[in-house]
Amino acid sequence: MSADSSISTWHPVAPSAELRAGANIVAGFAEGRELALWRSADGTAQAWENRCPHRSVRFTLGQVVENRLVCAYHGWQYAAGSGQCARIPAHPDMPPPRNVCAKVFSAVEAAGMVWVNLAEAVPAAPPPDDAVPMGWSFCQTLTVRADATGVRDALAARGFMADASSHALRGALDRIDTVALVLDARSGLAFIHLWTNATAGSEAMKSLHVAARILRSNIEARQPTV
């Protein structure tokens, strides 16, 4: 993907419900970037590069303390929003260096998902909230060993129609209405977030889970061998 196209690209990285305010850190991917997703105490979703700028330890090994992300290695703390180093426990009386800052990406929530944009500049338009119809339920996230373009092509071949303005593909699996949000995780790996109008725990939802696994197997079976 070119630099120009990435400026306007929002990636559906994870369902919003996976992030709990002031609690867990979720690993994510987009275009080969490894991300740390978390929610500050005020409920704002955060998407950071999954590396502490001090010793490059993954933030997902650390913890959330109120509005700060704490590295597991030396306990350095970084402020929500800016990523600026806010405290070094080994030197509590020393002002944190201003040049130590975590890499922070734009993150918004829409259609029940956390969307991340990797562009340096703040994107002008967020993803639309109608990418998933109101009242629909999250089904599951499929991890597929295939490029995102191949996944979208496979869904199109099964009758899924793409909506360029919302990043969504809408169709049916096992005759069950479904929306697929495809994430370009990295080369040869894509995630498919599936949403449906079926009720959680219903027979239709169970059938959709089976159909989704079959879909993944069919897509992967068509990938060229190396």
Q: How confident is the model at residue 198 (pLDDT cuts 50, 70, 90)?
A: very high
Torsion region of 167: left, alpha or beta (phi above 0 gives left; psi -120 to 50 gives alpha): left
pLDDT at 165: 64
- The strand pairing partners of 24, in sequence order, are none
Q: Is residue 23 part of a domain?
A: yes
- What domain count does the chain have? 2
Q: Model-level pTM?
A: 0.90
Tens digit of pLDDT for each residue in 162-172? 976 667 999 99
Residues 52 and 157 in one domain: no
Q: Is the pLDDT of residue 6 over 60?
A: no
Residues 100 and 11 in one domain: yes
Residues 102 and 147 in one domain: no
Q: How confident is the model at residue 8 (pLDDT cuts 50, 70, 90)?
A: low
Give the amino acid at 146: A
Output the domain CATH number for residue 186.
Answer: 3.30.310.220
Looking at the chain, the whole-number percentage of residues with pLDDT higher than 90 is 76
* Residue finishing a domain among 61, 84, 117: 117
Residues 153 and 112 in one domain: no
* HSE-CB for 202 with a 13 A CA cutoff: 12
Q: Is residue 128 part of a domain?
A: no
Q: Is the pLDDT of residue 40 over 50?
A: yes
Residues 9 and 94 in one domain: yes
Q: Is residue 132 part of a domain?
A: no
Give me the residue label for tokens 């709990």: 20
Tens digit of pLDDT for each residue in 46-67? 999 999 999 899 999 999 998 9
Q: How confident is the model at residue 2 (pLDDT cuts 50, 70, 90)?
A: very low
Q: What are the CA-CA distances from residue 52 to residues 34, 59, 75, 116, 181 (Å)? A: 12, 6, 10, 19, 29
Q: How confident is the model at residue 3 (pLDDT cuts 50, 70, 90)?
A: very low
Q: How confident is the model at residue 120 (pLDDT cuts 50, 70, 90)?
A: confident
Residues 144 and 189 in one domain: yes
Could you list the residue range(s) of the whole structural domain that residue 197 is in? 137-221
Residues 55 and 111 in one domain: yes
Torsion region of 22: left, alpha or beta (phi above 0 gives left; psi -120 to 50 gives alpha): left
